[in-house]
Structure 1
């Protein structure tokens, strides 16, 4: 009996279970979504794997739930039925209202925000608590890569109305782990110092008090390893390999020791150098462009540079897409490399069209007259680069970019697209400044460097200082002729109080006008001719020295002077401001012509050679000589045209205008002969090498002023040395120098700190 009852109950249970599994299907007449707050019903329906009209039963419920969970929008999903209506009940995840950081100083907030976007956390996105660990891990990795191993990160979630949350991330960055030692293991040819001295990671130099070189960074170390590899490849070690790199952290997480294990391999030399391929340029000419020679140590850098020079040479003949591939054949027995430069010039191309964009204020002809690459001519890489430099040097151009594009469907045509970004070419400005030489300086000017879009310059300026007052009106047409000759006019009036400049006690009033012609003789050489008419008046005071009074007794105190200045300038500098390479030499002669109240002349030379030592260092050698004398009925160079020396623009470390002869009042009187020279090493501001607005230098200056050339004595030259900095600030230039006299004599006026400060407002 009992057994029969159990069988009956079991059968009923099976029937009941089978009845539930086999619940009747139905056709969906409608779909309702319940629980939505921010997400629209239409958006949710697009994610459902079913739609109105489909046949549905309970077996498809997991499919619906899984599809909605995969969207990440919902924390809970249920499926129900109301008649033939499918009811989906959801609970939305909260939305991120705001993400706030505090305590982060080493890494900017923008960088941290970008990092969190990579793991799906940003404003407006759905917040999922399961990613909190990923958030903390991502932020921690950002700090570990910067050597901050003690970073502490605390994340707090604040719930807000309307199913929103704020994410507050508090960071205790901790101290950066310091690099105490960098060891290279396995190096036999070079010592550790030779290999690591250019590393960005390492122990700072003893004098670099603010250096961050000992701050560990994974990115910096990766760059150092690549620099190490390049060093060995440039020294002929073709099989050089970095076996491993160990970064060891001390238990207190404050100090780091880096060990780099290397295998130098064998050193290889150049066995032979050949040229192959289509040598459209004579092989002898191309060989002169190859730096590596048989017998020399193999250098990857020199090989690459040689290939680039050959390719560059081919572009000057129209082969814009030439390919030069250096192919090495290595002899392992002799450890020699047979190097072949395979030349594939490709098709010769010419420039079909040159288009200029961005010239919203300037006539197109203003830019086209600066171009050296012409339409319809063979492509010439040197001329394209020179065109870019000439356009870039226009005062109303902020930057320029030239792109070479192939013409579709043609193998021998290219188009040049020149995109310029123009700066405001007109300015009404007031200025204020201060210099140790001139005191307080006030200026005002109305200048238009691109008058009516013509490229002409029109300017009227006024300035006033303790030393001088100046009014000047000038007009310059830089392309007066189609061949590039310039012409300009200038009218000026100047009052100069020499006593305020700490020189002899007198004043001058000068009214004049001139016209200037600039005639280009070559791409880098220009002759300038400037005839000038000037009225000069000398004003004396009770303490004016006898030398000046004697001159006035002989020549009078007012002179009409007609002069002509002729000069030649050769300028190949790569930039007008902060030049890193090139030269500038200027030779000039100024002659006050017969028929003037005075007759005299002045001869001047200034020269500068700048050698680029590396990407950041340049060496400048400069010198200047000036000489003047009278002729005809004028005895000697007039005192108001004397040369002076000393100061930030001459021999630094000595007071402005203090060098040279003195008058009977023991005030600087200047002379007819001046010579100066300088050696200067330019380098970037430490810890801000990428700041193009600042440059520093160490210098040695020498110079002196003599009454006559015959008075010149090398022992009389004054010498100084020191440091200088020039900052092109947004409000004006700041030049600062600290000079220490190395050779001085009794009576010299020294001045260690000298500066010139200007500001526009």
Structure 2
């Protein structure tokens, strides 16, 4: 019943493992807290294809858990919170210790800073063994202040900037200040020691921590320190560096002669020297470091180096390819034939092979020939599935219901050439895309990816409808892990219809137009996480020009860019600052930038106090016309609430206008609001409510926006 295995049915490994977990949980729920399961899956008979799974159960003692002194939580909540009935196994010897440690962490993490517990195993009674858990919960408290004594060398401000445990502030319900965690406190103690040792106090000690409580449960924690002498680096000595100059090695190090000793940095310096040698082909290098302290508060750093042979790349053997060619791996090699086989380049080689998306595992065996100074490589790969199907659906305030269906073949010719098709359909837009990708359009020396993409797009905008058929030829190069540059040529046939009368500013704003444009794009992503970033930056920009010599019936140029910066603040919160701007101009025989190429603002990703594309320049009848100038600013504070739920407070501002319009020019509109985000593996689901800070006659006071994916 628990194992989920039935005679005569196929053996399912995952179902079997889940069954073992259920069986273990049932035993622990019945009091067998130290139960041990051993399973084996063998053939029923040597010549048979039938399997006979066997589970051996060692029940151990049956415990009767008795809770004493518990009032803040129910016994079931404590059993769940301490993992008493969890599916992992625990030995008899570790039961008492682990249970107490988990109880302490559970209570103190919830503010019971004076909590203590005693866990004892009493003599068996009948068929059960009493496990008595006596607790002293104490009063729920908080950290009122954190202080330091004995800090002559480092300021109080420097100290407070190093620790994450903070005294409770006015906005503690947002910042989580005053919260105590054993894990964070231990990290703070290590951080303080590390800070001192980096500043020259190599023998600094923490003598103890004094806790003083007040009547309201506030605790003042005072850290007593003994700094000891502050050491300077007298000299740095290298021995065995036959193929590296001393000046070059000194440039790699955190420690400098004459500066205060960075004691933990000595180990980092040792690794920096070793890494430099390995990256230069000395793969067997050994580096040992020693810090010698003098009586006059000075120190010497000595590094003993055994370089070993310098390797150059020999043969590269590929194994495991069935549907791909060996060339798909070999062309990723950044090392020239017979070139130096440095650690950094070898790792780049392996990562580049995995990044092709053709293999789900890439293992590299290094075969060294030290006498010859040659390194041979054996690549063992396991190919992935090359055909993918994707589908999805959702709803947004700007699109209504929408759905996605796509398919992709990633390996047309054994060398990673791919073809894909995708349909994205919503209540306001229908888009169909076909795409062909060639990984090495100019050969593996330049590493540009070539693309040929066809689009069909039918969309309803605020002021017009657009039907577009286009083809885009592009070359793209990856410059960092999540950054790229791209050059494109697009030829499209646009039909603009149902244009609001006030939005028609030139003949190009309605009817048919052929647009041929060249475009340059760049995207630099330095965020720590693309789905839920807490620090880093995202920078992007584009420039395009359409003109008659390219095959276009309209002439214009357009520039736009966006920058978003992410800062971790208030323990676990994040501030996001984002700005975007753009300009466009018509030239030649074109009177105005075509309406489908103008800038529009308003909506869930720009200024959230307005509906989609309704902010900015308007005709006399109130119809949004778009503009040839745009600026958009966003500030957002994101605060974790519970689990994957995040609260947000934001201020947005933006303006769209025509540069040559002296009457209705730049007009910065401002909105503010609140939002909720729920994090999912594919990005956040968000709900925002933005209200206008400068509401005008005829405008709504606020707008709701629902979105799937990052706002910015």
User: Is the shorter-chain TM-score for this pair beyond 0.5, marking a shared fold?
Assistant: yes
Counterpart residue number, 1:512: 470
Counterpart residue number, 2:659: 708
User: Contact 2:314–2:375 at 8 Å: present in 1 too?
Assistant: yes
User: Contact 1:559–1:597 at 8 Å: present in 2 too?
Assistant: no
- 1:567 aligns to 2:520 (yes or no): yes
- The correspondence of residues 12-31 of structure 1 with structure 2, limited to 5 A, is none
Shift of 1:471: 1.8
Counterpart residue number, 2:501: 545
- 1:232 aligns to 2:196 (yes or no): yes
Shift of 1:263: 0.9
- 1:313 aligns to 2:273 (yes or no): no
Counterpart residue number, 1:43: none
User: Contact 2:495–2:513 at 8 Å: present in 1 too?
Assistant: no
Counterpart residue number, 2:588: 632
Q: 1:187 to 1:574 in 2, by over 3 A?
A: closer
Counterpart residue number, 1:263: 226
Shift of 1:365: 4.2
Shift of 1:209: 2.8
Counterpart residue number, 2:427: 466
1:140 to 100, 103, 107: 100
Separation in 1, partners of 2:704, 2:132:
46
Counterpart residue number, 1:428: 389
User: Contact 1:432–1:758 at 8 Å: present in 2 too?
Assistant: no
Query: After alignment, is 370-379 or 258-267 more displaced?
Result: 370-379
Q: 1:678 to 1:757 in 2, by over 3 A?
A: closer
Counterpart residue number, 2:309: 347
- 1:447 aligns to 2:405 (yes or no): no
Q: 1:629 to 1:246 in 2, by over 3 A?
A: closer
Separation in 1, partners of 2:244, 2:605:
48
Q: Deviations over 1:465-504 (max 9, x none)?
A: 2321112222222234433332322222221211xxxx32
Q: Deviations over 1:626-656 (max 9, x none)?
A: 3333333221211222111234433455543
Counterpart residue number, 1:476: 437
Query: After alignment, is 516-525 or 276-285 more displaced?
Result: 516-525
Separation in 2, partners of 1:730, 1:671:
37
Separation in 2, partners of 1:95, 1:522:
55
User: Contact 1:449–1:456 at 8 Å: present in 2 too?
Assistant: yes
- The correspondence of residues 482-561 of structure 1 with structure 2, limited to 5 A, is 482-483=443-444, 484-498=447-461, 503-504=462-463, 506-518=464-476, 528-540=486-498, 544-548=500-504, 551=506, 554=507, 557-561=510-514
2:417 to 452, 456, 462: 456
Separation in 2, partners of 1:313, 1:306:
11
Shift of 1:232: 1.0
Normalising by structure 1, we get a TM-score of 0.67
Separation in 1, partners of 2:540, 2:622:
35
Counterpart residue number, 1:26: none
- Which SS does the other structure have where 1:516 is aligned? strand
1:104 to 76, 79, 95: 79
User: Contact 2:63–2:130 at 8 Å: present in 1 too?
Assistant: yes
User: Contact 2:316–2:379 at 8 Å: present in 1 too?
Assistant: yes
Separation in 2, partners of 1:238, 1:307:
17
Q: 1:507 to 1:573 in 2, by over 3 A?
A: same
1:660 to 610, 616, 632: 616
What RMSD, in angstroms, separates the aligned Cα atoms of the two structures?
A: 5.1
User: Contact 1:112–1:139 at 8 Å: present in 2 too?
Assistant: no
Separation in 1, partners of 2:383, 2:509:
52
Separation in 2, partners of 1:391, 1:751:
51
User: Contact 2:165–2:180 at 8 Å: present in 1 too?
Assistant: yes
Normalising by structure 2, we get a TM-score of 0.71
Shift of 1:666: 0.9
Separation in 1, partners of 2:174, 2:590:
60
Separation in 2, partners of 1:599, 1:367:
45
Separation in 1, partners of 2:633, 2:340:
45
Separation in 2, partners of 1:407, 1:555:
68
Q: 1:284 to 1:699 in 2, by over 3 A?
A: farther
User: Contact 1:646–1:657 at 8 Å: present in 2 too?
Assistant: yes
Structure 2 residues without counterparts, runs of 5 or longer: 1-57, 66-75, 109-114
2:554 to 580, 596, 599: 599
Shift of 1:303: 4.5
Q: 1:678 to 1:711 in 2, by over 3 A?
A: farther
Q: How many residues align?
A: 629
- The correspondence of residues 203-214 of structure 1 with structure 2, limited to 5 A, is 203-209=167-173
User: Contact 1:658–1:748 at 8 Å: present in 2 too?
Assistant: no
- Which SS does the other structure have where 1:280 is aligned? coil
User: Contact 2:656–2:667 at 8 Å: present in 1 too?
Assistant: no
Q: 1:315 to 1:741 in 2, by over 3 A?
A: farther
1:337 to 289, 292, 299: 299
Counterpart residue number, 1:674: 630
1:381 to 343, 355, 361: 343
User: Contact 2:311–2:370 at 8 Å: present in 1 too?
Assistant: no
Structure exhibiting the larger radius of gyration computed from Cα positions: 1
Separation in 2, partners of 1:724, 1:274:
58
Counterpart residue number, 2:334: 372
Shift of 1:198: 4.5
Q: 1:185 to 1:575 in 2, by over 3 A?
A: closer
Shift of 1:227: 1.8
- The correspondence of residues 190-339 of structure 1 with structure 2, limited to 5 A, is 190=154, 194-195=158-159, 198-199=162-163, 203-209=167-173, 219-245=183-209, 260-273=223-236, 276-278=239-241, 280-333=243-296, 335-339=297-301
Counterpart residue number, 1:6: none
Q: 1:732 to 1:245 in 2, by over 3 A?
A: closer
Separation in 2, partners of 1:247, 1:417:
60
